[in-house]
């Protein structure tokens, strides 16, 4: 019943400038896919190409196997929720929801029934007579989603729909959109630059940078096995620590790295003398030997007590910053020296080209 | 000096000159008021003064040479009961306003929509289309207009190419007012610029949302563009209507100041002008001016009242 979306070597050019460089992507029916990446990486552009708001300069877009490049936006069976909501300010909420159906010449009785149904799902029934300016940000967001729902599209597209909401509401709406996806079962594509949103909502995350795909995968897949340094740094919060390291020697057991002023043996095959990056997430660093192998001696610069977690900002002997997240409330003195340990299964090594080794 | 002693000496100074608000205001802000003086002179001497004087004169008979004689409501009574020219000029002006304003606004909006599609050389076109508005109310253009629409003018020479013998547009009472309406529409530049700015301020994603929903251009115009433009339409309508009521120069030039032929271009302002400066009935002319003001005020108030029902302000 649900719908697949496929991109083959999709390219977008604005005049001379190419901003999307040949993207291949498979989105399975019913999947919740999140495009994530830093500002300007082309998330919105890619979404708008799928929507039909931007012409595709090269390659193919297939929806349910049919080529859609030249099909007008309204005929692609998609609905889109805009970051700005794009509600019509002069129409009531009801009229906003009904506009698309009226355009499609749906009979009046059916419009009423479909609007009522969407309003019930989103709990905006009491607001139907109001104008958008009489709504709060969260309510406007619901109306914008309602406008997509009433059209019963095959695919929902969201472009940073929550970025205008405050933190609390954002979490709440995030849950609601996820629930909506579960209830409706449609294919949904969601753009955000917030990696927490991506991690919590997605079946599949597409990490973009500068118009190319860095990695595609399930949230935990990206967290556990980032293919490169960019993805490793982008996914996960707080960010992964990166220590510059040199390979001192290498044998069958692994390579000996000099990182953070001390030596650590990693089970990788790397040539002696290579410059590499040693990556480890703050939550995978421990302060007791039981956790694994010794990483480095550090000096404590700053401590943040978050209640459930203690964040320690420290510097290694060769002046590289290292963030450590310790569970629970731990008393750590500023300026004190700590010895850090790391679980051998949970560190990452990246070559000079940024690729994971 | 300490802050205390400064405020103390200021108090002594203020107390010495006088204790009224005015003298203290003068004491404290004299240089400011001096700078304002030219404006005050202009405002009171050239604007407020004449306005109040004209109100007084409207209750008098006054021929500029002898002192005004108090006439009570005579002027007003005569206007509403016994003045065919008043009625005629009112009819001409109303006709002019009712046709020229909507046509001009429609034309201005149409051109603004075309220009808003983002064509090359937009600044050039914008300037060219705006030009007539700068020139339009001037004497030179009115004279040019007279040449164009005269019996042997450009329009008829053009029509002659197709074997059509055109009338003398400006001396035929059936067409003379229409030539002035066309002249007024031709000056669509300033409402067009304002429409263009209004169109630019409609968020693009509004149109994108509509296009995703499959709305035709026609539907988008009527359901989105026009409603979102209503504040600008309202503004333009008010301004242009007031302009229309005040319109004087073109009719004066084209009819040689007479409102001919057979009063077909006797604009209200033209009639007023003739009463004042041809027949030296200043009192009556003043009364005419005040009635025009009242009409414009009533119209504007009415427009504001109706705006509740059709003008959409967002946020
Ligand atoms: N109309 C345009 N003309 C030229 N370049 C454009 C145009 N629109 C976007 N770009 C460029 O395309 C690139 C991708 O833009 P896009 O809006 O897709 O980024 P994004 O990933 O959505 O960023 P953000 O998170 O800030 O929304 C940017 O470098 C941008 O400068
Ligand atoms: Mg974007």
Which CATH class name applies to B74-307?
Answer: mainly alpha
Mean pLDDT of B4-25: 58
C-alpha distance from residue B86 to each of A142, B82, B289 (Å): 60, 9, 12
Write down the pLDDT at residue B136: 60
How far apart are the C-alpha atoms of B296 and B52, rounded to whole Å? 18
Pocket lining: A210 vs ligand 1, CB cutoff 6 Å: no
3-state secondary structure (DSSP) of residue A191 = strand
Interchain pair A53, B208: CB under 8 A: yes
Burial pattern B212-231, b for ≥16 Cβ within 10 A else e, equals bbbbeeeebeebbbebbbbe
Strand extents, DSSP E, chain A: 5-14, 17-27, 32-36, 58-63, 66-67, 78-81, 155-159, 187-192, 204-209, 212-217, 241-251, 254-259, 262-266, 275-280, 285-286, 293-305, 309-316, 321-327, 337-342, 347-350
CA separation for the pair A190, A156 (Å, rounded): 8
Half-sphere exposure of B100 (CA within 13 A, CB side): 28
Distance A207 CA to ligand 2 centre (A): 14
Which residue in chain A has the smallest CA separation from B217? A103
Report d(CA B223, CA B213) in Å as an integer.
13
User: Could you report how far apart the first and last alpha carbons of chain B are, in Å?
Assistant: 52
Predicted local confidence at residue A71, as pLDDT? 93
Residue closest via CA to ligand 1's atom 5 equals A14
Q: Which of residues 85-104 of B touch A (CB under 8 A)?
A: none
CA distances from A294 to A260, A262, A355, B19 (A): 11, 9, 24, 86
Dist. CA B291–CA B77, nearest whole Å: 12
CB A90 within 8 A of CB B228: yes
HEC readout, B60-109: EECCCCCCCEECCCHHHHHHHHCCHHHHHHHHHHHHHHHHHHHHHHHHHH
- The answer on pLDDT for B24 being more than 90 is no
- Among partner residues A80, A90, A100, which is closest to B228 by beta-carbon distance? A90
Structure tokens at B272: 């007023």
Residue intervals in chain A for CATH 2.40.50.140: 241-350
The residue nearest atom 16 of ligand 1, judged by CA position, is A42
**Ligand 1 near A187 CB (within 6 A):** no
For a ligand 1 pocket test, name from A42, A80, A160, A209 the mutation site with the most ligand atoms within 8 angstroms of its C-beta. Answer: A42
Query: How many beta carbons lie within 10 A of that of residue A250, not counting itself?
Result: 19
Q: What are phi and psi of A269, to 5 degrees?
A: -100, 105
pLDDT at A275: 87
Report how far residue A156's alpha carbon sits from residue A177's, in angstroms, rounded to the nearest whole number: 11
From the CA of A38, how far away is ligand 1's center (Å)?
11
Whether B10 shows a pLDDT value over 60: the answer reads: no
Fold held by A5-234: Rossmann fold (3.40.50)
Closest to B236 (Cα-Cα) out of B204, B188, B173: B188
DSSP structure class, residue A143: H
Element (H, E) at A48: helix A43-51
Mean pLDDT of B126-142: 76
Q: Which residue has the higher pLDDT, B233 or B150?
A: B233
**Tens-place pLDDT, residues A75-123:** 999 999 998 999 999 999 999 999 999 999 999 999 999 999 999 988 8
How far apart, in whole angstroms, are the C-alpha atoms of residue A190 and residue B119?
Answer: 34
Whole-angstrom distance, CA of residue B178 vs CA of residue B251: 11
- Average confidence (pLDDT) over A200-212: 94
Confidence of residue B13 (pLDDT cuts 50, 70, 90): very low
Q: What is the 3-state secondary structure (H, E, C) of chain B?
A: CCHHHHHHHHHHHHHHHCCCHHHHHHHHHHHHHHHHHHHHHHHHHHHHHHHHHHHHHCCEECCCCCCCEECCCHHHHHHHHCCHHHHHHHHHHHHHHHHHHHHHHHHHHHHHHHHCCCCCCHHHHHHHHHHHHHHCCCHHHHHHHHHHHCCCCHHHHHHHHCCCCCCCCCCCCCCHHHHHHHHHHHCCHHHHHHHHHHHHCCCHHHHHHHHHCCCCHHHHHHHHHHHHHHHHHHHHHHHHHHHHHHCCHHHHHHCCCCCCCCCCCCCHHHHHHHHHHCCCCHHHHHHHHHHHHHHHHHHHHHHHHHHHHHCCCCC
HSE-up (13 A, CA, CB side) for residue B224: 26
Q: Is the pLDDT of residue B174 over 90?
A: no
Q: Which DSSP helix (H) or strand (E) runs through A199? A: helix A195-201
Three-state secondary-structure class, residue A219: helix
Does residue B14 register a pLDDT over 60?
A: no
- Average pLDDT over every residue of B90-102: 93
What residue owns the CA closest to ligand 1's atom 12? A19
Instruction: Pick the closest to residue A157 from A135, A188, A126, A184 (CA basis).
Output: A188
Res. B11 pLDDT band, cuts 50 70 90: very low
Provide DSSP, A241-256. Answer: EEEEEEEEEEETTEEE
HSE value, Cβ hemisphere, 13 Å, CA-based, for A262: 13
pLDDT at A1: 60
What lies within 8 Å, CB to CB, of A49 at 6+ separation is A10, A12, A20, A55, A56, A61
Query: Token pair for residue B79?
Result: 């206007």
The pair phi, psi for residue A8, each rounded to 5°, is -120, 110
Report the separation in Å between the CA atom of A186 and the middle of ligand 1, taken as the mean of its atom positions: 27
State whether the beta carbon of A42 lies less than 6 angstroms from ligand 1: yes
User: What class has domain A241-350?
Assistant: mainly beta
Q: Is A65 exposed, middle or buried (0-12, 13-18, 19+ CB in 10 A)?
A: exposed
End-to-end CA separation in angstroms for chain A:
41
Rounded to two decimals, what is the model's pTM?
0.82
Res A291: pLDDT: 67
Question: Which pLDDT value is given to residue B72?
Answer: 83
- Distance CA(B103)–CA(B48), nearest Å, equals 35
Residue B198: pLDDT above 90? yes
Q: How far from B130 is each of A338, B191, B195, B237, CA to CA, in Å?
A: 75, 9, 12, 18
Q: Is the pLDDT of residue B16 over 60?
A: no
Q: CA-CA distance, A91 to B186, in Å (whole number)?
A: 35
Q: Where are the domains of chain B?
A: 74-307
Contact status of B215 with chain A (Cβ, < 8 Å): yes
ipTM over 0.90: no
Question: Which residue puts its alpha carbon closest to atom 26 of ligand 1?
Answer: A39
Q: Nearest-CA neighbor of A37 among A206, A288, A180, A266?
A: A206
Is residue B219 pLDDT above 90, yes or no? yes
* Backbone dihedral angles phi then psi of residue B269, each to the nearest 5 degrees: -65, -30
> What is the rounded CA–CA span in Å between residue A96 and residue B314?
15
Name the 3-class secondary structure at A294.
strand
Q: Report d(CA B60, CA B259) in Å as an integer.
A: 26
């Amino acid at each position: 019943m649900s719908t697949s979306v496929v991109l083959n070597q999709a390219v977008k050019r604005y005049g001379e400038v190419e901003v999307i460089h040949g993207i291949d992507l498979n989105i399975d029916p019913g999947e919740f896919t999140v495009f994530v990446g830093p500002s300007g990486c082309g998330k919105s552009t890619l979404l708008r190409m799928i929507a039909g708001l931007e012409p595709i300069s090269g390659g193919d877009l297939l929806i349910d196997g049919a080529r859609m490049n030249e099909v007008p936006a309204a005929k692609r069976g998609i609905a889109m929720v805009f970051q700005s909501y794009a509600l019509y300010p002069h129409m009531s909420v009801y009229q906003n929801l009904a506009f698309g159906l009226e355009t499609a010449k749906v009979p009046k009785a059916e419009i009423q029934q479909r609007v009522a149904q969407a309003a019930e799902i989103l709990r905006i029934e009491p607001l139907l007579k109001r104008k958008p300016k009489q709504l709060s940000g969260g309510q406007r967001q619901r109306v914008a989603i309602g406008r997509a729902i009433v059209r019963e599209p095959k695919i929902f597209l969201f472009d940073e729909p929550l970025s205008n909401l405050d933190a609390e509401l954002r979490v709440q709406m995030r849950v609601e959109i996820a629930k909506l996806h579960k209830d409706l079962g449609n294919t949904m594509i969601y753009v955000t630059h917030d990696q927490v949103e991506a991690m919590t909502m997605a079946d599949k995350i597409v990490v973009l940078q500068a118009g190319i795909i860095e990695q595609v995968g399930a949230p935990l897949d990206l967290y556990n096995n980032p293919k490169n340094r960019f993805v490793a740094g982008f996914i996960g919060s707080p960010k992964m620590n990166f220590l510059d390291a040199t390979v001192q020697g290498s044998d069958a057991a692994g390579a000996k790295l000099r990182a953070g002023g001390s030596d650590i043996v990693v089970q990788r095959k790397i040539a002696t003398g290579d410059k590499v990056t040693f990556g480890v997430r703050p939550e995978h660093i421990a302060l007791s030997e039981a956790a694994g192998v010794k990483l480095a001696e550090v000096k404590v610069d700053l401590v943040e007590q978050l209640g459930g977690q203690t964040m320690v900002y420290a510097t290694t002997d060769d002046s590289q910053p290292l963030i450590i997240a310790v569970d629970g409330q731990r008393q750590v003195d500023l300026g004190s020296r700590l010895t850090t340990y790391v679980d051998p299964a949970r560190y990452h090594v990246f070559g000079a080209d940024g690729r994971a080794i | 000096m300490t802050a205390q002693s400064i405020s103390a000496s200021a108090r002594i100074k203020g107390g010495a000159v006088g204790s009224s608000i005015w003298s203290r205001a003068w004491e404290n802000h004299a240089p400011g008021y001096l700078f304002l003086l030219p404006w005050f002179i202009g405002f009171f001497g050239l604007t407020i003064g004449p306005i109040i004087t004209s109100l007084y004169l409207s209750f008098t008979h006054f021929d500029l040479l002898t002192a005004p004689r108090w006439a009570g409501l005579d002027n007003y009574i005569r206007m509403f009961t016994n003045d065919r020219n008043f009625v005629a000029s009112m009819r001409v002006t109303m006709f002019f306003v009712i046709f020229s304003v909507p046509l001009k606004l429609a034309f201005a909006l149409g051109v603004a929509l075309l220009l808003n599609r983002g064509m090359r050389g937009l600044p050039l076109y914008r300037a060219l289309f705006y030009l007539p508005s700068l020139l339009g109310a001037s004497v030179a253009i009115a004279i040019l207009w007279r040449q164009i629409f005269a019996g042997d003018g450009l329009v008829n020479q053009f029509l002659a190419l197709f074997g059509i013998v055109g009338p003398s547009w400006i001396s035929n009472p059936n067409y003379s007012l229409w030539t002035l309406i066309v002249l007024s529409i031709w000056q669509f530049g300033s409402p067009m610029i304002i429409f263009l700015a209004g169109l630019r301020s409609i968020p693009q994603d509004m149109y994108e949302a509509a296009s995703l929903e499959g709305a035709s251009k026609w539907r988008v115009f009527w359901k989105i563009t026009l409603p979102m433009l209503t504040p600008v339409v309202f503004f333009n309508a008010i301004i242009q209507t007031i302009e229309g009521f005040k319109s004087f120069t073109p009719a004066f030039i084209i009819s040689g100041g007479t409102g001919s032929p057979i009063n077909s271009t006797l604009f209200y302002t033209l009639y007023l002008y003739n009463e004042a400066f041809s027949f030296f009935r200043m009192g009556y002319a003043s009364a005419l001016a005040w009635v025009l003001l009242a009409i414009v005020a009533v119209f504007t108030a009415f427009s504001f009242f109706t705006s509740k029902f059709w003008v959409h302000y967002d946020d």
